[in-house]
A and B are shown apart, each in its own frame.
Chain A
Amino acid sequence: MSHFSSEDSSLDSLLRRDPRTEWIARNRLHPLHSAVASTGQGEVRGPSGLLRRNPHVIGFIGPNGIKRIDRENLSSAGLNSKKRTDEAKQTQLPLQIVENPDGYIMVVADMIGGRLTSHDKDILGLAHQLVAESNRNTVVVLVCFGESKETQFDLAGVDRLIHLTADEFEGFAPEARVAALMQVEVQYQPERWLFPDSVHGGTDLACRLAAKLGERPVAQAWQVTASTTVSRGASSSQDILRETPRILMLMEECANAIEETRHQVLPMFVDGIEQTPPNLVDQGLIAVDANAVPLAEAEFILSAGNGIHNWDQFHATALALGATEGASRVAVDDGFMPRARQVGASGTWVTARVYLAVGISGAIQHMQGIGQCDKVVAINTDVGCDMVKRADLAVIADSEEVLAELSRLAEEYSSPKKRLSINEETKNQEEKSDAA
């Protein structure tokens, strides 16, 4: 057997020509021509081993007999656009591997809603710039707290990941987080600490860490190299040029995010975090009047358009969900909502994390206004409208039914405690009546 197989392999290496298929391939009028031409389309090696491309098989003959080359892939786009986007995503970027690092750059991310913000990604990009400048075998380590929904750490430039998920880091816990960062400092002695200079906690953590370590940080840095840093001072009226310190708080768009490489995202661990009982005791978020929050910075917007007929129900649902109310231009022009509530080009450009559009088909001016929203949910009767195409979750239904169900769900969700107390009250009353 072994003898035969070795003979087979020697035969395989011989280049054998098939004159008949070659002839069919040359003859465009042959009935088997298309089949033969398509088999050779993948990879054809010439007699010298060079890769050969057949220019004649590209394209197709159009309806009036002229050869057409479809470079944009338009014909297949209409049929299965979904598949095409998947293929586009699958192009693998080169993986950057760093083994045995001799230094660390720590990036502490805000991770609003459990995902990297664009600010975080810019800082990761800056960290990689600093690594490239230093010419050393340094890795970029992302430190993040709490639950993470991020799936693309590798594309954002995270070489190593320290993910701290204990209960004490949840919610508002700056002291516990700084204690963890202090342990990271002791264990890894990072070259630099990079923080986003943001109101989401980055500045607070950086200042606490710098005060603990007794180092002078730089705030509002926007041009950073390994040796010098330019930061804003005096309420952004001055540029201060100084040596780059070890702790930096960076402004938005301080560098470009990583785009062309993938990274390893290997986990790193911190042990022995000393936790003392915190002085600051979190009492939880306070319910604020959602409509008092400025529309431009509201986190969750329930927006109404032409598809709303029952306005009382809409307002009640917004109240039950705790959403800020928005409106499309039509709803405002028709007088159902005040002008200040208009979302879009001539209204407010909103930055909500979740935008729930009810009965809005999505004029381009409206879509511009919601360009920065993370999640868009659409309730609409028209499948083909632009809002449904833009939406992450689209519901094709009459708005009135869905809103009724939504407000019922919101009330059920918010009232289990109330219900319990009501049940207890009724029990007590029963007991009392029994006693009586």
Chain B
Amino acid sequence: MQPNINVVSLVSVGRHPQSGRARRAEQDGQAVELGLKLAGKALTVVHAGNAQEPVLRQYAGMGLPSLTVLAQESNCDALPVLVSFLKDKPIDVVLTGVRAESGESSGMLPYLLAEQLGWSLVPRVADIIGVQGDEVELLLALPRGQRRAVKVKLPIIASVDNAAQEARQTAFGPGLRAQFNVLTVESVVDESASRWQINAAKPRPKRLKVVKAKTAADRMKAATAKPMGSGGKIMKDETAAEKAQAIFDLLLEEKVVR
């Protein structure tokens, strides 16, 4: 059963990590997938940029009847056009990726949208559990595979983590047949970004393990010694219960047992 809410997914042009070719961005695809789960065919998918971009057909091929494009040049700022598009519309949930795969990829867009629209922002969503009234319950993806449940009042902007459900395969034919609503908008050129120098990424130097030993013997020891802890506590003569209690206390102190 799908809740009766308005969902918008924002998509961008991705970049294949090996070939560098344009592709459907991974997290944006997941945002569309989550949007489809929430709203089905009623999902609105919005792209700010070039309407002729063939990659958009890959998003449309996920089963979207139509796709909205806010047409603007590639050197323009996506924020003002998206704000003017989303403002004053009865939208409940906006889904984006965490970081774009092209451009600056600072990950600031959802935060700036949330700030300018005055909505709440939920970072790194793994799943949306359900909607009750004007509250939505979400699962956040934490590092190390952990999950956290959070309740938020609608409307929200959520960035979708890699841990969310994978985007479905796209179909070529339906992608071609999907209708594109191209809106002409007043766009603003990103002035400060035009002053940046952009080069291909240099490989980062690996950090060297510098041994600050004074004598040759110390250097030899540092190079050959086995990794040793700093001499921990050894429990030998206590009873099994005491030993287990000591271990359990350590686990509690480190907060790994909840």
Interface residues of A (CB under 8 A from B): 71-72, 82, 85, 113, 172, 174, 199-200, 203-204, 207-208, 210-212, 216-220, 222, 232-242, 253, 256, 259, 279-288, 292-294, 297-300, 321-323, 353-354, 356, 364, 367-368, 371, 374-377, 379, 383, 386, 388-398, 401-402, 404-406, 408-410, 413
Do residues B229 and A285 form an inter-chain contact, with CB atoms below 8 A? no
Min CB–CB distance A377 → chain B (angstroms): 6
The 9 closest A-B pairs by CB, nearest first: A405-B244, A293-B145, A283-B149, A300-B256, A392-B232, A279-B120, A401-B240, A211-B115, A219-B106
Choose one: B105, B114, B149; the contact of A235 (CB below 8 Å).
B105
Stretch of B32-40, B52-60, B194-202 with 4 or more beta carbons under 8 angstroms from chain A: B194-202
How far is it, in angstroms, between the C-alpha of A361 and the C-alpha of B7 when the chains are bound? 55
How far is it, in angstroms, between the C-alpha of A297 and the C-alpha of B145 when the chains are bound? 8
Which residues of A are found within 8 Å of B212, using beta-carbon distances? 259
A371-B227 contact given A236-B201, A237-B20, A286-B147, CB 8 Å threshold: yes
Which residues of B are found within 8 Å of A383, using beta-carbon distances? 234, 236
Which residues of B are found within 8 Å of A397, using beta-carbon distances? 235, 240, 243
Choose one: B14, B122, B147, B204; the contact of A285 (CB below 8 Å).
B147
Asked if B176 CB lies within 8 Å of chain A CBs, one says no
Stretch of B84-92, B177-185, B245-253 with 4 or more beta carbons under 8 angstroms from chain A: B245-253
Closest to B192 in A: A216
Stretch of B42-50, B65-73, B136-144, B165-173 with 4 or more beta carbons under 8 angstroms from chain A: B136-144
Do residues B149 and A288 form an inter-chain contact, with CB atoms below 8 A? no
Cβ-Cβ contact count across A and B, 8 Å cutoff? 241
Closest to A113 in B: B254
Min CB–CB distance A277 → chain B (angstroms): 11
Which residues of A are found within 8 Å of B245, using beta-carbon distances? 405, 409
Min CB–CB distance A374 → chain B (angstroms): 8
Closest to B240 in A: A401
How far is it, in angstroms, between the C-alpha of A401 and the C-alpha of B101 when the chains are bound? 53
| 1/0 contact string of B215-257 vs chain A (CB within 8 Å) | 1011000000011111111111000110111111011101111
Closest to A281 in B: B151
Do residues B226 and A388 form an inter-chain contact, with CB atoms below 8 A? no
Do residues A413 and B201 form an inter-chain contact, with CB atoms below 8 A? no
24 cross-chain CB contacts under 8 A: A174-B123, A235-B17, A235-B99, A236-B201, A237-B15, A237-B200, A238-B200, A238-B201, A239-B199, A240-B104, A282-B150, A283-B137, A283-B149, A285-B146, A288-B147, A293-B146, A353-B254, A367-B226, A375-B254, A377-B250, A383-B236, A394-B232, A406-B247, A406-B248
Asked if B124 CB lies within 8 Å of chain A CBs, one says yes
Do residues B235 and A390 form an inter-chain contact, with CB atoms below 8 A? no
Do residues B250 and A375 form an inter-chain contact, with CB atoms below 8 A? yes
| 1/0 contact string of B97-125 vs chain A (CB within 8 Å) | 00111111111100110110000111110
Choose one: A233, A236, A299; the contact of B103 (CB below 8 Å).
A233
Do residues B226 and A364 form an inter-chain contact, with CB atoms below 8 A? yes
Min CB–CB distance B201 → chain A (angstroms): 5
Min CB–CB distance B216 → chain A (angstroms): 9
A241-B196 contact given A279-B153, A299-B144, CB 8 Å threshold: yes
Min CB–CB distance A70 → chain B (angstroms): 10
In the complex, besides A72-B218, A286-B149, A409-B248, 12 extra interface pairs with C-beta distance below 8 angstroms are A219-B107, A232-B201, A239-B198, A240-B196, A280-B150, A285-B147, A390-B227, A392-B233, A397-B243, A402-B247, A409-B245, A413-B248
Choose one: A219, A321, A395; the contact of B246 (CB below 8 Å).
A395
How far is it, in angstroms, between the C-alpha of A6 and the C-alpha of B199 when the chains are bound? 78
Which residues of B are found within 8 Å of A238, using beta-carbon distances? 198-201
Which residues of A are found within 8 Å of B201, using beta-carbon distances? 232, 236-239
Which residues of B are found within 8 Å of A283, using beta-carbon distances? 137, 148-151
Min CB–CB distance B171 → chain A (angstroms): 25
How far is it, in angstroms, between the C-alpha of A185 and the C-alpha of B196 when the chains are bound? 27
How far is it, in angstroms, between the C-alpha of A376 and the C-alpha of B137 when the chains are bound? 37
Which residues of B are found within 8 Å of A375, using beta-carbon distances? 250, 254
Closest to A218 in B: B106
Do residues B234 and A390 form an inter-chain contact, with CB atoms below 8 A? no
Do residues A321 and B230 form an inter-chain contact, with CB atoms below 8 A? no
A240-B107 contact given A208-B121, A234-B15, A405-B240, CB 8 Å threshold: no
Which residues of B are found within 8 Å of A413, using beta-carbon distances? 248, 252, 257
